[in-house]
Amino acid sequence: MCGHCNLEPEFVLHCLLDCHKVHAVWDSFGADNFAWFWLENNIVKWIQKGINDIGTRFITIIWWIWRARCDECISLQVITTQMVMHRASMMASDIDKCYGVSAVSVKQVRWVSWVFPISNVTVLNVDGSSLGNPCWSVP
């Protein structure tokens, strides 16, 4: 059983994403801005998308979620959502400084569309946007 909530089997994806105890962390981060975030059920793909779309901050949040879970299970010490977010933010900032990466901000998802052309006209989509693209299009 999950050592954090003691309600569900302790699978990695549950511990890092699905556990109701970590939902507040991801809500605080703004996970709803990423269409894939709550829908992915493959841990490897979820982490890959997190690294690609969010960057260092995603990894440090995962690390602090796991750390908070272990502290609570092993030493009965509770790390609050605010502490997880603060420490993850500080760690991401330190890592980015070490590697010369500028601060990564939360990307905003922007849905785009187009208007059907007037008849007898061909339109070529060249702006890189498409719905259903297996890869994320980046403006």
Which residues sit at the interface with Zn ion, rule CB under 5 A? 2, 4-5, 19
Q: Which of 11, 114 has the CB closer to Zn ion? A: 11
* Minimum distance, C-beta of residue 67 to Zn ion, in the bound complex (Å): 15
* Minimum distance, C-beta of residue 97 to Zn ion, in the bound complex (Å): 33
CA distance 84 to 21: 12
69, 16 in Cβ contact below 8 A? Answer: no
* Minimum distance, C-beta of residue 81 to Zn ion, in the bound complex (Å): 14
123, 117 in Cβ contact below 8 A? Answer: yes
Question: What is residue 129's three-state secondary structure?
Answer: coil
Query: Which H/E stretch holds residue 60?
Result: helix 56-70
Q: Which of 15, 54 has the CB closer to Zn ion? A: 15
